[in-house]
A and B are shown apart, each in its own frame.
Chain A
Amino acid sequence: MFIRRRTLLAASAATAIAPPALAQNYPRRAVQLVVAFPAGGSTDVGARILAGLAEKDFGQPITVVNKGGAGGQIGFTEIARARPDGYTLGFLNLPGMNTITLDPERKAVFTIDSFIPIVNQVLDPGFIWVKGDSPYKTLAELTDAAKKNPGKISACTTGILSDDHLAILMVQEATGAEFRIVHFDGGAQQLTGVLGGHVDVAFDNVGSVFKRVGTEIRGLAVTDVVRSKFLPQVPCTKELGLTTVISSSTRGVGAPKGTPADICKVVETAFLKAINSPEMKEKMDAVGLALKPMVGAEYAKYYTDLQAQAKKYTEWALKMR
């Protein structure tokens, strides 16, 4: 498309001409934080809270820009293509980003190397739940039933190739169960689907529904190595013996490849401070999002490890379609 090429050319020309931004001079004006999901969703909510708190120390406004669509692909493309001058940052959703790069039909123009992960904010573990009056009281009961009746028990996700989708595959691999997989478009539809009795079990995340667990919703498991502090009564998959079923949705701040390291450091410091602040904790607790700040080597390792895990299950999912 001539427009894109023009912009890319202009961008590279400009970067060549303009002097590299020095960290002492950064930030000199407002910074954009691109969120690849629509306004109001849980990613967006977390991002806005973070931006609001980080602004104070950052010294310049951090404007959240929503570029939703195509499961995040539009926004991630935007971030990957942005000028690496530190004035465009991105909110990275994993494994959403990973599965997009691994699906050849999506023809993503970015890879996971197109981004520099700076600091992680949230780690929202997967959560398997059923309707309150469902016959399945434990995860084992569910998987046994699914093993005995392959393809008859329906399990739903919030999207094709979402972390929920991968989690179902992990469970199938670990237990031999076989579900009938149904893909909804987001959490609202999933709620309607399971609470309305149309689908048997939901693979979701803790943050979306933790407050409703009780009589309305029965939690079967949290796909993590520890129990979620928001759902202390729900067992985690590790303690249930399903050690390979570890799945979560993580969101953090990153920058396009090529952003100078000293600028990334400034970003890291400001955002990390915001993440560790008591107001952040309070606001995140209210929405059920577990904070897991990760920086530097730890985040980078998590980033690449996740890609390997995502690759395995994404390829399986792709084979199924």
Chain B
Amino acid sequence: MESLSHLLSGFAAALSWYYLAYALAGCVLGTLIGVLPGLGPAAGTAILIPLTFNLDATGAIIMLSAIYYGAMYGGTITSVLINVPGEAASVVTCIDGHAMARQGRAGSALGIAAIGSFVGGVLATVALVVVAMPLATLALKFGPAEFFALMVAGLCLVVGLAGKNIVAALLMTVIGLLFAMIGLDPVRGAPRFTFGMEELFDGIGFVPVVMGLFGVAELLLAAEKRQARMIEAELKNWLPTGQEVRDCVGPIGRGTVVGFVLGLIPGVGAIVPTFMAYVIEKRVSKTPERFGKGAIEGVASAETANNAYANAAMVPLLALGIPSSPTIAVLMGAFIINGITPGPFLFQEQPALVWTVIASFFVGNALLLILNLPLVGLWAKLLKIPFSYMCVGVLIFCVIGAYGLKQSLFDVWVMLGFGIIGYLLRKLDFPIAPAILALILGPMMEKSLRTTLEISGGSFAIFLDRPVALALLAIPVIVIAFLLFKPRSLDKLRESDID
């Protein structure tokens, strides 16, 4: 197979000391960026672009890609340890990952995240090698109508996240959706619910909201309980136990599939596959009530899906020249500055380059694992820092994170406000996860419906013509019917509570 021989020569090049060093530097820098809450992989990658000006094209790409998926893992570290999502997609990891940390199982959480990320990344890259072009072209068929259906199906997952109190979960979802409507509406491009504040023109700012709801709220809760340390429980183990790893084989496998498939579709964003993998895991589990309280399967599936997604998102980028997310758009910009135009001709015109880069994905994923597994113990030790220091430190970074996004003080207020709201919601037992999912999916859903109608000229019949969209839309219908008419099998789900 021609690809195989290309890949092998790619490996030979990627494993040279020169490129290896860049991949390593990229992984380290990426992890650091991911750890800093709020800095975000997109901004972080953009900042590091100038570093690559002095490198040759291949080296630049290798380093930037390493930064990219390194940042994904860095986000995990803060999610688990201090409940602050390092970047948007890490939100899901906060749910079970931090719960595990509170039980002294931070080592297991971080460890399984590293392992899952590695497996997910490698498998996704393997799939990339085998089926990049044909899959990419197939993914193009996914138009606005299918996108809308996917978002709706995703929102119905909320039902899977709901615990005892479905009404409360649905209410939170609706409220999340309402918040998502703030900003420029997709119909007229005019401000909606912004009360004249331009800061709201782009919506309420997902990152500050999430940093507040998770990070600040966590600090407030801990402060009130007068905890001496951020996490009181002693660290039980540095790495996941053998049993834990065995338990996670299924979740990792499923997470890889979900992450990879969704990564092929341009524009999906990292949160959707992470949430979906998590919810699927919860449904499949024989003990769903553990989810939300420290189920390692939750962390494993979310993290694997996250990394599989990140690597799979390279497919539309390399094969079609279409960036899937703002971070990848930054990557693409960096590629272009360095003289490389991603797109279908990349494979034909510069095969050596492309295959070396693909080989470096494997290498990079392995490097991340090697880097991070031993460091897990070190990170977990951070939890021993007295609460007062931790609190001040985390708040400094959160403020910088919230402010630094758009140099906006408003965002810091948003973070503080939602911190208090998050605190109240946690104390009153309202589920936050559905609202977060709604906040992300809401705008995409409305916009894609609008675009679908623009394409069809206002006719909803377009959905009838598109089997994939119909199939996706059928999922929520089935789910709701299932819920309403089969209460017995839901008792187990009902007993579990997210958040």
Asked if the two chains touch in their complex, CB atoms less than 8 Å apart, one says yes
Does B330 belong to the interface (CB within 8 Å)?
A: yes
5 residue pairs bridging A and B, Cβ less than 8 Å apart: A105-B188, A183-B451, A197-B143, A212-B341, A216-B343
| Shortest distance from the beta carbon of B61 to any chain A beta carbon, whole Å | 14
- Given the interface pairs A40-B326, A287-B336, the reply to whether A73 lies near B198 with Cβ below 8 Å is yes
CB distance from A19 to the nearest CB of B (A): 26
Is the pair A45, B333 in contact by a Cβ cutoff of 8 Å?
yes
Bound complex: CA of A199 vs CA of B191, how far in Å? 27
- B184 contact from A52, A71, A151, A196, Cβ within 8 A: A71
Question: What's the minimum C-beta distance from A287 to chain B, rounded to whole angstroms?
Answer: 6
Q: Indicate if the CB atoms of A67 and B329 lie closer than 8 Å.
A: no
The 3 closest A-B pairs by CB, nearest first: A40-B330, A70-B201, A39-B46
Which of A117-163 touch B at CB < 8 Å?
151-152, 154, 159-161
Interchain CB contact under 8 A, A283 and B189 = no
Closest approach, in angstroms, between the C-beta of A67 and any C-beta of chain B?
Answer: 6
Q: Besides the contacts A39-B330, A40-B326, A71-B189, what 5 more A-B pairs have beta carbons closer than 8 Å?
A: A67-B406, A195-B140, A197-B140, A198-B455, A211-B343
Q: Is B347 at the interface (CB under 8 A from chain A)?
A: no
B46 cross-chain contacts in A, Cβ below 8 A: 39-40, 44, 66
Question: How many A residues have CB within 8 A of the partner chain?
Answer: 58
Stretch at the interface among A185-193, A240-248, A291-299: A185-193
A188 touches B323 (CB 8 A): yes
How far does the Cβ of B182 sit from chain A's closest Cβ, in whole Å?
12
Please determine whether A40 and B455 come into contact, CB atoms closer than 8 angstroms: no
List, in ascending order, chain B residues with CB within 8 A of A211's CB. Answer: 341, 343, 345
Interface membership of A41, Cβ < 8 A:
yes
B141 in complex: contacting residue of A69, A191, A196, A287, CB < 8 Å:
A196
* A69/B406 in contact, CB under 8 A: yes
Q: Is A31 an interface residue (CB 8 A)?
A: no
Measured CB to CB, the nearest residue on chain B to A165 is B189
B267 within 8 A of A: yes
Contact across chains for B341 and A193 when beta carbons are under 8 A apart: no
The answer on a CB contact under 8 Å between A196 and B336 is no
> Chain A residues near B331 (CB, 8 Å)?
40
B253 within 8 A of A: no
Q: Which residue numbers of B lie inside 8 Å of A, CB to CB?
A: 42-43, 45-46, 49-50, 140-144, 183-184, 187-191, 196-199, 201-202, 266-267, 320-324, 326, 329-334, 336-337, 339, 341, 343-345, 406-407, 409-410, 447, 451, 454-455, 457
In the complex, chain B residues whose CB is within 8 Å of the CB of A44: 46, 333
**Contact B321 A74, beta carbon cutoff 8 Å:** no
Minimal Cβ-Cβ distance residue in A for B339: A286
Interchain CB contact (< 8 A) of B190 among A40, A105, A191: A105
Q: In the complex, which residues 188-246 of chain A have their Cβ closer than 8 Å to any Cβ of chain B? A: 188-189, 191-193, 195-199, 211-212, 214, 216
Interface residues of A in 164-190 (CB under 8 A from B): 180-185, 188-189
Q: How far is the CA of A38 from the CA of B326 in the complex (A)?
A: 8
Question: Are A183 and B454 in contact, CB atoms less than 8 angstroms apart?
Answer: yes
In the complex, chain B residues whose CB is within 8 Å of the CB of A3:
409-410
Q: Across the interface, which residues of A come within 8 angstroms of B324, CB to CB?
A: 188
Decide if A65 is an interface residue (CB 8 Å cutoff).
yes
A5 at the interface (CB under 8 A from B): no
| Chain A positions within 8 Å of B201 at CB level | 69-70, 73-74
Q: Point out the residue from B141, B144, B188, B323 that lies within 8 Å of A160, measured CB to CB.
A: B188
CA separation between A181 and B457, bound complex, in Å? 9
B455 partner, pick from A45, A106, A180, beta carbons under 8 A: A180
Q: Which of chain A's residues have a CB closer than 8 A to the CB of B345?
A: 211-212, 214, 216
Complex alpha-carbon distance, A41 and B49, angstroms: 13
Bound CA span A271–B141, Å: 44
Q: Which one, B45, B184, B188, contacts A321 given CB within 8 A? A: B188
Q: Quick one: given A39-B46, A74-B202, A192-B266, are A180 and B332 in contact (CB under 8 Å)? A: no
| A182 touching B190, Cβ below 8 Å | no
Asked if A191 and B320 make an inter-chain contact with CB atoms under 8 angstroms apart, the answer reads: yes
Q: Given A182-B454, A199-B455: A77 and B143 within 8 A (CB)?
A: no
**Nearest CB on A from B215, distance (A):** 23
Min distance, Cβ B211 to any Cβ of chain A, angstroms: 18
A152 surroundings in chain B (CB, below 8 A): 457
Could you say which residues of chain A place their CB within 8 Å of the CB of B447?
A: 185
CA distance A172 to B197 in the complex (A): 35
Check: A49 CB closer than 8 A to any chain B CB. Answer: yes
Determine the residue in chain A with the shortest Cβ distance to B317: A188
Contacts of A192 in B (CB 8 A): 140, 142-143, 266-267, 320, 322
Would A188 and B457 be within 8 Å (CB), given that A38-B42, A39-B42, A70-B198 are in contact?
A: no
Chain A residues with CB under 8 Å of B196's CB are: 107
Q: How far, in angstroms, from A152 to B458 measured CA to CA in the complex?
A: 12
Write the A262-296 contact mask toward B (1 if CB under 8 angstroms, else 0): 00000000000000000000010011000000000
| Contact present for B337 and A49 (CB under 8 Å) | yes
In Å, the complex CA distance between A202 and B418 comes to 41
Contact digits for A46-83, partner B, Cβ 8 Å, 1 yes 0 no: 00110010000000000001111111011001100000
Q: How far is the CA of A65 from the CA of B406 in the complex (A)?
A: 9
Q: Are A191 and B339 in contact (CB under 8 A)?
A: no
Cα distance A109–B199 when bound, in Å? 13
A199 to B50, CA, bound (A): 37
Asked whether A40 and B198 contact (CB < 8 A) given A160-B189, A188-B266, A212-B321, the answer is: no
CB pair B344 A154 closer than 8 Å: no
B-chain residues with CB within 8 Å of residue A39 when the two chains form the complex:
42-43, 46, 330, 333
A180 touches B457 (CB 8 A): yes
Instruction: Say yes or no: B191 contacts A188, CB within 8 Å.
Output: no
- How far does the alpha carbon of A321 sit from the alpha carbon of B46 in the complex, in Å? 37
User: Is A1 on the interface with B (CB-CB < 8 A)?
Assistant: yes
B-chain residues with CB within 8 Å of residue A212 when the two chains form the complex? 321, 341, 343-345
What is the bound-complex CA distance between A161 and B190, given in angstroms?
11
Asked if A77 meets B322 with Cβ closer than 8 Å, knowing A105-B190, A105-B191, A287-B336, the reply is: no
Q: Establish whether residues B143 and A198, one from each chain, have CB atoms under 8 Å apart when the complex forms.
A: yes
Q: B455: which A residues are within 8 A, CB to CB?
A: 154, 180, 182, 198-199
Quote the shortest CB–CB distance from B202 to chain A (angstroms). Answer: 4
What are the residues of chain A within 8 A of B451 when measuring CB–CB?
Answer: 182-184
A146 to B: closest C-beta gap in Å: 13
Q: Bound complex: CA of A68 vs CA of B345, how far in Å?
A: 31
Chain A residues with CB below 8 A from B184, complex form: 70-71
Minimum CB–CB distance for B93 against chain A, Å: 25
A298 to B173: give the CA distance in the assembly, Å.
54
Q: Which residues of A contact B198 (CB under 8 A)?
A: 70, 73-74, 77, 109
A78→B198 CA distance, assembly (Å) = 10
Chain B min CB distance to A198 (Å): 4
